[in-house]
């Protein structure tokens, strides 16, 4: 994800992301407010953030986030460097940015991500339950007790029927690969649902407990529609 109020700079970072094999461009935002709107319904691992932007600058934007992705600041002003590292930014790169400089910063992000997930992204499954690590404990979860699973940066939250959510440091893709495909479905970049728990669908959203709305992402609409056609009498 990249945020910059200068269209040419935003386009450049977007093109650098596209040509880097281990990165995926999920959003190009021309303001911090546009980025906040995207983050309200999506999780990202890494953001390239310009600092000098109108209304809400990049530094204040990052400070406002309760759950921060990894941050690489992109700016023409070197005086913000110390403040950038005080908010735990991975890197701080100065414009104009060459691809070599960009790639060095991106590799730093990849190294952090690989190290943080090493020996963590393991999950044990049986026919009717999974075992996940949470707060130094190994927890057994019945598959039938799961309502939905939500990605939150590098963590996931497993939401249960009659208990508090369980948080574990696993990517959504990892747990998706272990769950039975006839019972669980990825419906959004940030959500996996238990198909047996789907009772109400409203305006292309899945409703849980009358006040939890899970959106169905564009790339998942066909598979979810197939489930609806098979399951519901319309």
For 28-69, the pLDDT digits (tens) are 999 999 999 999 888 888 999 999 898 898 999 998 987 788
Characterize the bridge pairing of strands 205-208 and 166-168.
Answer: unpaired
Check pLDDT > 60 for residue 209.
yes
Q: Which domains does the chain have, with CATH numbers?
A: 2-117 (3.40.50.2300), 124-231 (2.40.50.1020)
d(CA 133, CA 121): 9
Q: Ramachandran region of residue 98, left (φ > 0), alpha (ψ -120 to 50) or beta?
A: beta
Question: Two tokens at 132?
Answer: 């996940």
**What is the rounded end-to-end Cα distance, in angstroms, of the chain?**
39
Buried (b) or exposed (e) across 64-91, using 16+ Cβ within 10 A?
A: eeeeebbbbbbbeeeebbeebeeeebbb
Count of C-beta atoms within a 10 Å radius of residue 208: 19
User: Taking all residues of the chain, what is their mean pLDDT, rounded to a whole number?
Assistant: 87
């Amino acid at each position: 994800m990249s945020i910059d109020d200068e269209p040419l700079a935003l386009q450049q970072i977007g093109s650098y992301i596209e040509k880097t094999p281990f990165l995926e461009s999920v959003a190009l935002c021309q303001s911090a407010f546009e980025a906040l709107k995207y983050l309200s319904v999506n999780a990202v691992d890494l953001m390239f953030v310009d600092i000098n932007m109108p209304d809400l600058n990049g530094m204040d934007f990052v400070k406002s986030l309760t759950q921060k992705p990894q941050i690489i600041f992109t700016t023409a002003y070197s005086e913000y460097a110390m403040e950038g590292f005080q908010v735990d930014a991975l890197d701080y790169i100065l414009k104009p940015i060459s691809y070599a400089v960009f790639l060095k910063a991106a590799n730093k992000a990849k190294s952090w991500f690989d190290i943080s997930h090493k020996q963590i992204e393991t999950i044990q499954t049986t026919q009717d339950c999974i075992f996940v690590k949470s707060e130094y404990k190994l927890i057994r979860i019945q598959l039938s007790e799961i309502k939905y699973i939500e990605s939150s940066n590098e963590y996931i939250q497993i939401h249960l029927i009659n208990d508090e959510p369980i948080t574990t440091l696993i990517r959504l893709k990892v747990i998706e690969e272990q769950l039975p495909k006839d019972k669980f479905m990825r419906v959004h970049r940030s959500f996996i649902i238990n198909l047996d728990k789907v009772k109400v669908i409203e305006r292309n959203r899945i409703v849980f407990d009358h006040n939890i709305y899970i959106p169905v992402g564009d790339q998942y609409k066909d598979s979810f529609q197939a489930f609806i056609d098979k399951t519901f009498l319309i």
